[in-house]
Structure 1
Amino acid sequence: MKRILAGIIVCMIMLFPVRIYAENWDGLDVLLDNSIQFVQEEEYDKATEVLTYFSQQFLKHERVDANKVLPEHLRTISLAYDEALQSLETEGIDKQLKMDNILALRLVLDAEVSTYQPLWLERKQNVMDALANVEKAMEKEDSISFQRSLNKLLHEFDIIYPSLTISLPEKQLQRVNAHLSYLDEFRHMMLKNKSGQTQLKVIKEDFVEVFQEVKRDEASFSLIWFMIITGLIIFLTLTYVGFRKYKAEKDKKKSTVHSKNRS
C-alpha cells in the first residue's frame, strides 16, 4: 500500500501543472511566438500579418469567452498590441525593439490568461542584472555607463510593465511607477547627489519584492491545490484498499463456511 501511495504522490508532482491557461485562449501565444520568430528572420511583412491575425482571433475569443477580460486589462492589452504593430510598420526601428514590443504583448496576454506563474517573472534576472550595472556605474561615478545601464533597466521595465499593471496590486504598482519616474526624471542628478545611492537601495528592495510577492502568492495557491488533490487521492486509495481487504476477508469466511458445510 505504501508503494501505491508513493507512486501516486510522485505522479502528482510530475503531472501537477505549473501554469494553467484558460482553454479558449490556447493558440494565441503561439501566434505571438511566430511573429517574434519572423522578426528575428527580418520577415517583417509576415510578422505583421501574423500579428494582425492575432488581433482578429483575440477579439473573436473575447466575444465568445464567458469570462470577459476586465475593461482596464483590455485597454492594457490593446495598447501593447498597438505598440507592437506600430513598431513593425515603422521603418528604421531596431529589430530587437520590434521583438521586445511583441514580447511585451506576449507577456501581458500570458499575465491575463494564466491562472498563476506568469511568464514575466522569468524576466527577473534581466531586470536585476540591469539594476546591478546601474549600481556599479554609480559607485564608480561613471556617468556614461550609468546612463547606458539606466536606459537598459528602463527598457526592461517597458517589456514587463503592461504585465505588471495586470498582476500587481494597485499600491505596489504605484510604488513601481514612482520609482521609474524618479529614475527617468532625476537620472542626471543621481550621481551628483549622495541621496541618489540611498534612493537606489530603496528602489532595489521594492523591485525585488515585486518578483518575490507574486511568487509567494502563487506558491501558496499551488501548494493548497496540490495538498487538496493529493489528500483526496490518498483518501480514495485508502478507501479502495480497505474495501478490498474487507471483501477478501468476507470471501474467505464464505469459503470457510462452504467447506464446513461440505464436511
Structure 2
Amino acid sequence: MKSKLWIVIFLCFLLLATNASANDDSSPIDQLNALSDEALQLTKSQRYEDAKKILETFSDKFSSVTIKESTFTMDELRIVTIAHNEAVEATTNVSMNPDERINRVTKFRLVIDAISSTKHPLWTKMEEPILAIFDDVKEAAFNGDQEAFHKSLNSFLSLYEVINPSMKLDVSPERFQKLDTRINFIDHYRQDILTQQNSMKELLILETDLQSIFDLETDETDPSLWWVIISTGSIIIVTLSYVGWRKYVGEKEKRKNRSR
C-alpha cells in the first residue's frame, strides 16, 4: 500500500516538475522527453489508446534521431527499447491492473529523462520513498514480523524495479552491479534474513549502499581521467620544483660572485 502511495506522490511531482514541450524549436531529445511525459500523463488518466499513439510517435521519432545522429550508446538503445516495449504493453494489455500500467510507463519516462538530463535526473527524487519503505523492511526483519517483512520487501522491490533502468544509465557499472547483486541476494534469501542474525547485517549494508547510490557527484569521474589529472599534476609539480631549484642555485652563484 505504501509503495502505491509513494508512486502517486512521485507522479504528482513529475506533473509539476516537467516543463518539456515538443515544439519545433526544441532539440530532438527534448521532444522525445516531452512525448514520454505525455504518454505517462495519458496513462495516469487511463487513456490507454491515446497513450499508445504517443508511444508509436515516440518510436518513429526515436528511430529517426538514432539514424540521423549517433546520439545514443548501445546500452542506452537497449534500455530505451526494453522500457518502450514494456510501456506499449502496459497500454494494450487489458488484463494488467492500472497500478502496474502506471509503473511501467513511469519506468519508461524515467529512462528518457535519464538520457536527456545531465544533472539531477528524476529517478533521484525517489530517494526518500525508497529509503522510507526500506526502513519498514528493516524494522520488520529486526522484529521478526514475517508477514510485514515480506509485504514491505515486495513494496521495496516494486519501487526499485521502476527506477532500476534509469539508475543503470547514470551510475557507474561497478556501483550499480554491486547494489543490484545485493538486492537480488536479499530477495532470494529473504527467509534466511529473518532467521539468521548475521544475515540481517546485509540489510544494514544495503541501506548504506542505497544512501550513497543517489549521490551522483561522488561516483561519475572516469578513473582514467583521475589518472590523467594525477599524472599531469605530478609533472607540473616536478617542473615547478626544478625551476625553483634552478633559480635557487642561480641566486646562490650570484651571491658567491659578488662576495668574491
SS in 1 for 2:191: coil
**Matched residue, 2:52:** 48
Q: Which runs of 4+ in 1 moved over 3 A?
A: 215-218
CA distance in 1, matches of 2:217, 2:100: 28
Query: Is the CA contact (8 Å cut-off) linking 1:120 and 1:163 kept in structure 2?
Result: yes
CA distance in 1, matches of 2:202, 2:187: 13
CA distance in 2, matches of 1:108, 1:37: 16
Query: Is the CA contact (8 Å cut-off) linking 1:35 and 1:50 kept in structure 2?
Result: yes
**Matched residue, 1:131:** 134
**Matched residue, 1:79:** 82
**Matched residue, 2:116:** 113
Shift, 1:54, TM fit: 1.2
Task: Identify which of structures 1 and 2 has the higher relative contact order when contacts are C-alpha pairs closer than 8 Å and 6+ apart.
Answer: 1
CA distance in 2, matches of 1:215, 1:149: 30
Deviates more, 1:76-85 or 1:111-120: 111-120
CA distance in 1, matches of 2:155, 2:217: 24
**Matched residue, 1:64:** 68
Shift, 1:147, TM fit: 0.7
Q: CA deviation digits over 1:46-90, x for unaligned, max 9? A: 11111111111111222223x420012110111111111122221
SS in 2 for 1:26: helix
CA distance in 1, matches of 2:68, 2:118: 19
CA distance in 1, matches of 2:132, 2:167: 19
CA distance in 2, matches of 1:176, 1:59: 32
SS in 2 for 1:115: coil
SS in 2 for 1:188: helix
Q: What TM-score comes out, normalization by structure 1 length?
A: 0.70
CA distance in 2, matches of 1:109, 1:36: 12
**Matched residue, 1:25:** 29
Query: Is the CA contact (8 Å cut-off) linking 2:43 and 2:105 kept in structure 1?
Result: no
Q: Mark the runs of 5 or more structure 1 residues left unpaired by the alignment.
A: 1-21, 219-263
SS in 1 for 2:193: coil
Q: Mark the runs of 5 or more structure 2 residues left unpaired by the alignment.
A: 1-25, 221-260
Which has the greater radius of gyration?
1
Q: Name the amino acid aligned to 1:25.
A: I
